[in-house]
Amino acid sequence: MTFMTENSALPSPQAYAEAVTTAVAASAAYYGDGTTPLGDDEYDELLRAIAAYEETHPDEVLAQSPTGKVAGGAVQGDVPHSVPMLSLDNVFDADGLAEWAAGLERRLGRPVAGWCVEPKLDGLAVAARYRGGRLVQVLTRGDGLAGEDITHAAAAVLGLPPVLTEPIDVELRGEVLLTTSQFEEANRIRLAHAATPFAHPRSGAAGTLRAKDRPYRIELTFFAYGAIGLDELGHTALLEKLAALGASTAAGTAAAPMWCATMEQVQERIDVIAGLRAELPFGIDGVVVKADAAEDQLRAGNGSRAPRWAVARKLSAEHKVTRLLAVEWNVGRTGIIAPRAVLEPVVIDGVTVTYATLHNPSDITRRGLMIGDQVYVYRAGDVIPRVEAPLVDQRTGAESPIPLPEACPRCGDAIDASEQRWRCVRGRSCQAVASVIYAAGRDQLDIEGLGGTRAVQLVEAGLVKDVADLFTLTREQLLGLERMGETSATNLLTAIETARGAALSRVFCALGVRGTGRTMSRRIAAHFGSMAAIRAADADTLAEVDGIGTEKARVIAAELLELAPLLDRLQAQRVGTQVTEPQKPASDTSDTSDATDGEGTEGGPLAGQAVVVTGSMTGPLAVLSRNEMNELIERAGGKASSSVSKRTTLLVAGEKAGSKRAKAEELGIRILDPEEFAVLVADLLPTDGAL
Ligand SMILES: NC(=O)c1ccc[n+]([C@@H]2O[C@H](COP(=O)([O-])OP(=O)(O)OC[C@H]3O[C@@H](n4cnc5c(N)ncnc54)[C@H](O)[C@@H]3O)[C@@H](O)[C@H]2O)c1
Ligand SMILES: [Zn+2]
């Protein structure tokens, strides 16, 4: 959206003209085949901006402006409507609704005699003409005055009976949509016919209603909410009559229309319907409030675009358009390799969405998704957001194909791509290999000689299925492996022996508990002092460690419980029990009230300092990994952190220090280069590299 910013006012006649052109084009696409580049929220915002401009510049209103017109004036039809098919005015919150209701009552000069509250079905309005009880013609809304004849589509529309229960002349009005299951089925069918899947149900319904000569049939659903020829009935009575005639109405759904005496009840019902939204078997984009009584409707009358006796309380869009930035591949516990979309963050229904599921690799290829694409993202309630489709006409040429992994992203072995869902050939043991490699890593147990191939070998041979098994390996077992000579075996066993005495923080980190990387592991180790104390901690106690929120604490506690058998075996092997954490005298966990800054050793050269390290280290510090730097800082009584903030007191800036240095300068924080810092902590520097 080139010119749209939040709540933007259009700054010039050019911007206004451009906005009008964009809105008309979007509308034409929206009501045509549904391929609009704008999300509904964006379209509505654009229309508000246009209306606002027109209000302050009444002389400049363009003839093609979408305001005040059904369908924004963007579509036409050639079959005149018996009575205009109108749109609805919108309100966006409870206040807007109350204001609208008050306005209506002022116009009537009396209180409204009851309301009807019903779902705003997210499909397309149609008029279905019956003569003598037989369906003779179906029309789209078009520009409200004339529509397109889509009688050919009627046979595939559930809920739109070919014959009514009474032989009357009547015109039913209602919405045609794809239910969720019809939408899924439609896309299955589309894919089977090598057609692009529908981006979302509404555009699928639009495309299907107008399509002719398709080699396949897609089923739709009709819900009636109005009629021409039964005008004497109030709305609730009308809905009952429509159902009795054999048409489907929303009455049978959880979001059934409800008569309400007061605005309070109306508001309550709106909340209920909005709350049901995610579970409804069809999409709604709002809730419609109508004055129920026929006399109230007649007296209020209709405007040129919308009736005055009804209004749509819009709900925020569940579909948003955003950019696909990247695709990540995650391997599940059973070895399933699943793609995940990384999106330009977009707020959907009040929640910022950054990731969305992509179903499986073949889905990506069939949809022809590309990195950089504008995509439709869907999110409703607690549903995991998903990417539905790319907006192919929005491509700029800068998009690039999504690279599919050639090897398991976790263990590096081959991928079994014979099924829709890809899987690491190693299946469940993929996890074992990956967890052993992780545990042996430099920042964990630092077991040299236990890289990818060796870990794979040990797991394949059935000698190792987790980190605890490493400590029971024997020389004979190792020598039984291919390409394992005496020297390698000795080296590996020695490295493992050294790891047995690794600091608690490293042993803990080696467990690979979710959400506990190097820094967090150090904090936890320093806080509790022993594995036994960590294991004894419940979620509340864990939450007292700096940086662990209640949510994360619960996850960690649950995982520790799961890891109990492994931890028992590690303990039996005396792993992580010989050496207490160097940072801090064994912490007494009963005093937890002020544990948040408790990592530092009192009196060290960095006591009370909050230190951030950035750039690459030189001089005596060059050999240290970032994790080892952080350990050093904590041994020196300081607190290590990864980002510069107002609380930072010292930045160690090495070569190629970038934004962190700039920020520290801006905040006036003391900055040392690695050599200066090395002098400060000289006493604590390792002499042999072993930390
Ligand atoms: N994304 C885009 O590019 C784009 C373009 C044009 C329009 N739009 C969307 O469409 C909206 C305007 O479209 P519109 O003119 O079709 O109006 P609308 O969707 O805001 O409301 C009117 C329509 O609601 C439908 N409706 C559903 N349930 C109903 C019920 N129970 N009773 C009465 N009517 C019911 C009818 O089809 C009626 O014509 C905009 O607010 C925007 O969100 C989006
Ligand atoms: Zn794998």
Rounded Cα distance between 340 and 356, Å, is 6
Among protein residues, the one whose CA lies closest to atom 8 of ligand 1:
40
Q: Output the six-digit token pair for 259.
A: 């008569």
30 CB within 6 A, ligand 1: yes
Question: Going by CA atoms, what residue is nearest to atom 3 of ligand 1?
Answer: 26
To the question of whether residue 639 is assigned a binding role by annotation, the answer is no
Q: Does residue 601 have its Cβ closer than 6 Å to ligand 1?
A: no
**Ligand nearest the Cα atom of residue 407:** 2
Instruction: Kindly report the protein residue whose alpha carbon is nearest to atom 39 of ligand 1.
Output: 87
Radius of gyration for the alpha carbons in the chain, expressed in angstroms and rounded: 33
Q: Dihedral of CA 386/388/393/395: which sign?
A: positive
* Residue 290 alpha carbon, nearest atom of ligand 1: 32
> Helices (H) and strands (E) in the chain — how many of each?
23, 25
First to last CA, the chain: 54
Under a CB-based contact definition with an 8 Å cutoff, are residues 193 and 216 in contact? Answer: yes
Pairing of the two strands 319-331 and 336-348 = antiparallel
581 lines ligand 1 (CB under 6 A): no
Q: Which residues pair with 314 in a beta bridge?
A: 286
The whole-angstrom separation of Cα 534 and Cα 557 is 9
Q: Ligand 2 center to residue 279 CA distance, Å?
A: 36
d(CA 221, CA 205): 9
- Averaged pLDDT, 175-194: 92
CB 71 near ligand 1, within 6 Å: yes
- Mutate which of 42, 50, 120 for ligand 1? The one with the most ligand atoms within 8 Å of its CB, which is 120
- Residues 110-151 have pLDDT tens digits of 999 999 999 999 999 999 999 999 999 999 999 999 999 999
pLDDT tens digit sequence for 600-656 = 445 678 877 889 998 888 888 888 888 888 888 888 888 888 888 888 888 999 888
Hey, what are 284's tokens?
Answer: 């709604």
Q: CA–CA separation, 446 vs 631, rounded Å?
A: 15
Residues 336-357 have a mean pLDDT of 90
Q: Is 408 annotated as a binding residue?
A: yes
Residues 154 and 138: beta-carbon distance below 8 Å = yes
CA pair distance 301, 309, nearest whole angstrom? 7
Query: Which atom of ligand 1 is least distant from the CA of 86?
Result: 39
Q: What is the pLDDT of residues 312-328, one digit of tens each?
A: 999 888 888 999 999 99
Ligand 1 site, residue 43, Cβ cutoff 6 A = yes
**Which neighbouring-strand residues pair with 424?**
415
Atom of ligand 1 nearest to the CA of 26: 3
State yes or no: 314 annotated in a binding site.
yes
**Structure token digits, residue 671:** 């900055």
Q: What is the predicted pLDDT for the residue at 593?
A: 33
Nearest CA to ligand 1 atom 7: 27
Ligand 1 geometric centre to CA of 27 (Å): 11
Taking alpha carbons only, the member of 653, 508, 487, 492 closest to residue 577 is 508
Q: What is the mean pLDDT of the chain?
A: 88
Encode 363-404 in three state secondary structure: HHHHHCCEECCEEEEECCCCCCCEEEEECHHHCCCCCEECCC
Q: With a 6 A CB cut-off, is 223 part of the ligand 1 pocket?
A: no
**584 classed as catalytic:** no
**pLDDT tens column, 9-65:** 899 999 999 999 999 999 988 887 777 778 788 888 899 999 999 999 999 999 999
Give the closest residue (by CA) to ligand 1 atom 6.
27
**What is the C-alpha to C-alpha distance for residues 530 and 446, in angstroms, rounded to an integer?**
20
pLDDT digits (tens, 9 = 90+) for 413-459: 899 999 888 999 988 778 888 889 889 998 899 998 888 788 888 98
Residues, beta carbon < 5 Å, ion ligand 2: 408, 410-411, 424, 426, 430
Instruction: Report CA(472)–ligand 1 centroid distance (Å).
Output: 68
* Percent of the chain residues past pLDDT 70, beyond the cut: 94
38 C-beta closer than 6 A to ligand 1: yes
Q: What's the average model confidence in pLDDT over 528-555? A: 88
- Residue 84 pLDDT exceeds 80: yes
Q: 121 CB less than 6 Å from ligand 1?
A: yes
416 is in an annotated binding site: no
Q: Model's pTM, two decimal places?
A: 0.65
* All domains of the chain in start order, with CATH: 13-73 (1.10.287), 79-314 (3.30.470.30), 319-401 (2.40.50.140), 428-500 (1.10.150.20), 610-684 (3.40.50.10190)
Paired tokens of 398: 């800068």
> Residue 193 corresponds to which tokens in the numbers above?
């016919």
Atom of ligand 1 nearest to the CA of 70: 15
